[in-house]
């Protein structure tokens, strides 16, 4: 559902920006740096969340295999941002050690609460990241077509992860609504800080 909504919004935005011919805009250097810095941080955090969940469920359990599929994609994402951070000479966030611990703790603690809670964590995190990637696509100009392609592919992966969480009954986790709001707020705060620090 979320992926359909975001794709509709993306195609609407495309039509509007064509009308205004703003698709030729040049990306501000500061905006580019913030995008790469925060995405690098977010993908790093995502690998740690899934590491934390796999540490609890084990790689070979049924759910562990599903999580490993998402973790493998997060690994591809972080490797790409490791390249981009060097290519564009962007300073990484100083908070990587914090996101290492916070990401693992979030993954492990939700996994300890049960399978549905772990999937509720995935749904909340991936919802925020999917929407955040969409916002970035709207900010980037045509001078960064390759980066836009990368972000658009990663957005689709994150929305797939979100949908996997929903399919695994995330919404029936105990305290789903409160937990989702707390995790979403945490992710949004981490995003705001990692852009700058």
Per CB under 5 A, residues contacting Fe ion are 43, 46, 74, 77, 158, 161
Nearer to Fe ion, 43 or 115 (CB): 43
Nearer to Fe ion, 130 or 176 (CB): 130
Nearer to Fe ion, 20 or 170 (CB): 170
Nearest position to Fe ion, beta carbon: 77
Whole-number minimum distance, CB 20 to Fe ion, in Å? 31
Whole-number minimum distance, CB 157 to Fe ion, in Å? 6
| Encoded tokens for 149 | 């392609």
Whole-number minimum distance, CB 25 to Fe ion, in Å? 26
| Encoded tokens for 25 | 């805009």
Nearer to Fe ion, 46 or 140 (CB): 46
| Encoded tokens for 180 | 């989702």
Pair 110, 67: CB distance under 8 Å: no
Packing angle, helices 115-139 and 176-196, rounded to 10: 40
Task: Tokens 């955090």: give the residue.
Answer: 45
Whole-number minimum distance, CB 187 to Fe ion, in Å? 11
């Amino acid at each position: 559902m979320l992926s359909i909504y975001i794709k509709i919004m993306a195609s609407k935005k495309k039509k509007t920006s064509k009308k205004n011919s703003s698709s030729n805009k040049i990306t501000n250097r500061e905006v580019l740096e913030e995008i790469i810095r925060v995405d690098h941080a977010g993908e790093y955090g995502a690998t740690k969340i899934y590491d934390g969940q796999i540490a609890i469920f084990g790689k070979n359990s049924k759910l562990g295999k599903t999580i490993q599929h998402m973790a493998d994609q997060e690994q591809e994402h972080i490797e790409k941002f490791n390249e981009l951070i060097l290519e564009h000479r962007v300073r990484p966030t100083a908070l990587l050690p914090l996101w290492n611990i916070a990401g693992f703790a979030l993954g492990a603690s939700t996994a300890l609460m049960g399978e549905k809670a772990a999937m509720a964590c995935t749904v909340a995190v991936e919802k925020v990241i999917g929407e955040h990637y969409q916002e970035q696509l709207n900010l980037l100009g045509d001078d960064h077509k390759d980066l836009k392609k990368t972000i658009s592919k990663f957005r689709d992966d994150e929305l797939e992860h979100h949908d996997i969480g929903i399919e695994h009954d995330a919404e029936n986790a105990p305290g789903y609504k409160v937990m989702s709001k707390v995790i979403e707020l945490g992710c949004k705060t981490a995003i705001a800080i990692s852009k700058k620090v």
